[in-house]
Amino acid sequence: METYFKKRYNSFKFAFRGLNSALRSEPHMRLHVLLAVGVVVAGFLFGVTATEWCLLVGCMGVVFMAEIFNTAIETVVNLVSPDFHPLAGKAKDLAAGAVLAAAIMAAVVGLIIFLPYVFSLVNNYL
């Protein structure tokens, strides 16, 4: 039984090491975290609904996962193809495109959720 728990512990330890690595080595990941903090602050200030929180948190998670997958793919491609190769470049471009698509989707969802709150706030002050 001890081995089972040790394996689970190690799995979590390695996963947290990966998150830490992404935060420390990837400037875009730090930007995503900073923007996510801004979204959370705005969510509390505007009092978004539970459903809106679920959508916002889901979008943030998708962007974080896409960035981590992108980093993993770039790392493996750099390992197996240290010299330029068109297919290596294509793999890296596709991974970066996935991050961009996720970020655009998250931004659109954020606009759909927050614009009515912003317009309501502006109308109350006019």
Q: Is 93 annotated as a binding residue?
A: yes
Question: Dihedral sign, CA of 60, 65, 66, 71?
Answer: positive
Q: Is 92 annotated as a binding residue?
A: yes
Tell me the DSSP string of 38-95.
HHHHHHHHHT--HHHHHHHHHHHHHHHHHHHHHHHHHHHHHHH--S--HHHHHHHHHH
- Of the candidates 22, 39, 67, 68, the residue annotated as catalytic is 67
Return d(Cα 92, Cα 88) in angstroms, integer. Answer: 6
Cα 104-39-46 angle, rounded to 5 deg:
125
Q: Is 13 annotated as a binding residue?
A: no
Active site residue 52: no
Largest CA distance in the chain: 66
Known binding-site residues for substrate equal 67
Known binding-site residues equal 26, 67, 74, 92-93
Known binding-site residues for a divalent metal cation equal 26, 74
Catalytic positions, written as ranges? 67
